[in-house]
Amino acid sequence: MNRAEACCNQLSELNNYVPTRAYTGPLNNEILERFSVIILTQSTLEEQLRIARFTHEKNIALIVGETRGLFSQVFCDFGDNFSIVDPTGEPPVTAMVASISKDSQGVVTCLDDTRHGMEDGDFVTFSEVQGMTEINGCEPKRIKVLGPYTFSIGDTSHYSEYIQGGLATQVKKSKILKFAPLGESLANPEIVVSDFAKFSHPQQLHLAFVTLHRFIKNWKRVPRPWNVDDSQEFVKLARDLNEEYGFHFEIQEEVLILFSQTSSGDLNPMNAVIGGIIAQEAIKACSGKFHPIYQWLYFDAIECLPKNRANDIENYRSIGSRYDGFITIFGLDFQRKLSDLKYFIVGAGAIGCELLKNFAMLGIGSGNGCVTVTDMDLIEKSNLNRQFLFRPSDVQKPKSFTAAKAIVKMNPEMKVIAHENRVGPETEKIYNDEFFGSLDGVANALDNIDARIYVDRRCVYYRKPLLESGTLGTKGNTQVVVPFLTESYSSSQDPPEKSIPICTLKNFPNAIEHTLQWARDSFEGLFKQSAENAAQYISDPNFIERTLKLPGVQPLEVLESVKTALVDERPTSFQDCVAWARCYWQDQFNSQIRQLLYNFPPDQITSSGQPFWSGPKRCPTPLEFDVDNELHLDYIIAAANLKATVYGIKTNRNRKEIAQITSTVTVPIFTPKSGIRIAESDSQALVSNGNGNIDHERLNQLLAGLPKANDLSGKIHELIYEELTPCIQCFPNSPSLQLTQFGEN
């Protein structure tokens, strides 16, 4: 069948929002000018040059991609005036200013505990600077990095004297690229180096692909696999073209010979890599986000070839099988070894689907071997944009079984065993000595560090190779772990994520991540932890005994939450829920801030003579509740309905009714208290809490004040115990978002 027609229907199944059509006619100019991006694969150099002239003239983005055995090529031409709106795709960096010098260099120093994270040539603008106010909202200034905490912005001698504070925010500046057309770039290539261990390979491969096109034109075929005569002819032709095009590259015969001898091969993994890169370049061409390849990229994987290749030429001849493209490069013996492998793939998500597809195309486990895949998750609709083995009809089906069924359809020779198990200590009876002993290797497709470390330790124990991989947005990593040859996955690790001090989180937030963490802590504390503790208190007769054995002040915290849920803040009607939400809003966004400003007034000076509210300590402003403020009322609606759902009270989302109820709520008048101490640091907080020592008098008061579990039977027991599922289903996103917005303010 025609390839376009054969794959069109299956492509359209991947996403029914994308119109997918097959075209089998000639690529004339009338057809080409319908498109904004054109991708050429497996086309002759003459056709590439013809189309490239037209696309460059019409400002149509052109991408050319090709794989030949273990070698590949990508070329991009996005026109004379291509604008990149965001070269890196990273969020803008923000740094807190400690000082700005008033001189010809204008040195900006950031707070000692935070690197600015910027690079030479970046642009920044300033806000909240006191003293040197002229710099606030200035035109973006190009910086020169002087160190991890300092950079210069140019002449500041005409500005006022800097006093304190300020934020330096990176400004994303668009970048204009001028691409040369293919004909011009072919002779004077701009090549991106993809592997610095093979620094000279890109030039050799540029020459090799040009030579291959000429070889095919002259001989009407590609060089024969591992044929000495063809490879010698190929090298001779390459020398001639090196002079003809004026490359003047230093010829490396071993690279050109290897290219010639394997160029007739066709490998799925190479196609997968280059197909993914080209798809990413197409997104760049459409969006202007991320820096595109400028203009040539060459990638090879010659290290995959065995050092001691079999000399039997018959081993590399085509046998009329689906694996001929592989056999041409690696030989029939090696293909049979792959088919006999027993591999374990842990995870059937995005990377797991890619692995399974590649394994099926290579025939791994298609002979006497097999592939075992396990994943405990079900398919969600949101998985469909990247986990391509699944279709809309597969939603809520097990990932592992669905993926296994899909790849057997791709390659009926595959032997696949699907499990729905989590790989961990609890399944060691399944994945035991016998299971691991039978394996030839393991491939991880996991989404969390703990699971990766566990699988790695099992592989180290059983001396099994491990293929480790992960992705994060447009970034990715792979690691090949070979027993007795490489370090294991657990031998090195990323530095731990920087935790947020409790005092910063509660009293002195200064970054968006602080408000996000505050929102999450608030949500879980209000609607998850206290309800769970109360449910366990009611249902588990040993709850008190277990709680009192917890370390530190945990018994006090847990029992406080139980008393709050069952006594202090237990509503009996939806009106009670609204009243609670209104009072809680007042406490969070007015009373606590007024108490903070009572302890630390806006003009407070530290013992060293510096303003207290400076640097990371940002002076807050209490909010005044306004029932007509849409965001304020949203908060009340969300909080009241969550509270009602926890206690099984009928919910209400009528804005007008809730606004009327809110207006009638009597909010306690707050008066700042002089006896309350607010810690400035976590160490001070620890001292004020008695260094984690428990207050036994308060503990006894809580125990005496709790109602008996037997008195809380029936309806309340049932509803509090089941509170979490309906509560989070009703509000999957909005409460956390609203809490975050208030926290940021």
For residues 278-287, average pLDDT? 96
pLDDT score at 739: 34
Percent of the chain whose predicted confidence (pLDDT) is above 70: 92
Judge whether residue 608 has pLDDT over 90: no
pLDDT score at 208: 97
Contact in structure between 329 and 225 (CB atoms under 8 Å): yes
Q: Assign 150 a pLDDT band (cuts: 50, 70, 90).
A: very high
The three-class DSSP label of residue 354 is helix
Contact in structure between 292 and 281 (CB atoms under 8 Å): yes
Residue 661: count other Cβ atoms within 10 Å of its Cβ. Answer: 20
Judge whether residue 64 has pLDDT over 90: yes
Residues annotated catalytic, as ranges: 503
Which tens digits make up the pLDDT trace of 617-650?
A: 888 999 999 999 999 999 999 999 999 998 889 9
0.95 exceeded by pTM:
no
Which of the two residues, 200 and 232, has the higher pLDDT score? 232
User: Which sign does the torsion angle of CA 223, 225, 230, 231 carry?
Assistant: positive
For residues 268-288, average pLDDT? 95
Which tens digits make up the pLDDT trace of 564-607?
A: 888 888 899 999 999 999 999 999 999 999 999 999 999 888 87
pLDDT score at 738: 36
Contact in structure between 445 and 352 (CB atoms under 8 Å): yes
Which tens digits make up the pLDDT trace of 333-364?
A: 999 999 999 999 999 999 999 999 999 999 99
Q: Which residues contact 556 (CB under 8 A, 6 or more apart)?
A: 694, 695, 698, 699, 702
φ, ψ (nearest 5 deg) of residue 86: -150, 95
pLDDT score at 683: 67
CA–CA separation, 76 vs 201, rounded Å?
A: 19
Which tens digits make up the pLDDT trace of 9-56?
A: 889 999 988 999 999 999 999 999 999 999 999 999 999 999 999 999
For residues 432-439, average pLDDT? 96
CA–CA separation, 235 vs 258, rounded Å?
A: 10
Which of the two residues, 157 and 741, has the higher pLDDT score? 157
CA–CA separation, 736 vs 745, rounded Å?
A: 14
Torsion on CA atoms 386, 390, 394, 396, rounded to nearest 10:
-40
pLDDT score at 731: 41
Residue 175: count other Cβ atoms within 10 Å of its Cβ. Answer: 13
Judge whether residue 78 has pLDDT over 50: yes
pLDDT score at 737: 35
For residues 93-108, average pLDDT? 90
HEC sequence for 97-143:
EEEECCCCCCEEEECCCCCCCCCCCCEEEEECCECCHHHECCCCEEC
The three-class DSSP label of residue 444 is strand
Torsion on CA atoms 606, 611, 613, 619, rounded to nearest 10:
130
Which tens digits make up the pLDDT trace of 513-560?
A: 888 889 998 998 888 888 888 888 888 888 888 888 888 778 888 888
Plot region of 22 (φ>0 → left; ψ -120 to 50 → alpha; else → beta)? beta
For residues 713-736, average pLDDT? 41
Q: Assign 711 a pLDDT band (cuts: 50, 70, 90).
A: low
Q: Assign 730 a pLDDT band (cuts: 50, 70, 90).
A: very low
For residues 267-291, average pLDDT? 95
Q: For residue 62, give both structure tokens.
A: 């052109």
Which tens digits make up the pLDDT trace of 396-429?
A: 999 999 999 999 999 999 999 999 999 999 999 9
